[in-house]
Amino acid sequence: MRRSRSVAENFGRFGAAVEVRPRLGQGLFSLAVRDAYGGACAVTREHSLPVLEAAHILPYSAGGEHRVDNGLLLRSDLHRLYDRGYVTVTPDYVFLVGERLRDDFRNGRSYYGLHGSKIAVPECPQWRPNREFLDWHRETVFRG
């Protein structure tokens, strides 16, 4: 009996080697943001830790620092939409969902119910999202 080859055998078990540059402090940033938000998504109040992620408001790649006031604790799907500019948070802590989500994907109904809602912010004022960073995201990243 002839054994068929697996996909891994056909293409190799591992891809080409790539250089990975660690983002020093990322783990501590994630823990600090999670603690500041009480382990709940700022938008939905979801508490299931496996789906919660610390999002940078001003991205690390754009010079953003690992500071709690540069972070939002978001559900993973909201984090991706935030990073791609389909959603944003105003300097007054209002969550906005852009029309481009509907236009680009002909969908997004589950997110439009969140539009206009106030996000939860950390109790400690110095940990609350930096309003200048939020404004930067809205002006630079948000697709509207």
Residue-wise pLDDT for 24-83, tens only, equals 467 899 999 999 999 999 999 999 999 999 999 999 889 999 999 999 999 999 999 999
Residue 10 pLDDT > 80: no
Three-state secondary structure call for residue 13 = coil
Tens digits of residue pLDDT in 102-138? 999 988 889 999 999 999 999 999 999 999 999 999 9
The residue ranges of every structural domain in the chain are 22-140
According to the model, what pLDDT value does residue 86 have? Answer: 98
Query: Which of 16-20, 67-71, 93-97 is predicted least confidently?
Result: 16-20
Which residues, in sequence order, are CB contacts of 28 under 8 Å at separation 6+? 66
Tell me how far CA of residue 142 lies from CA of 66, 72, 82, 128, in angstroms: 21, 15, 8, 20
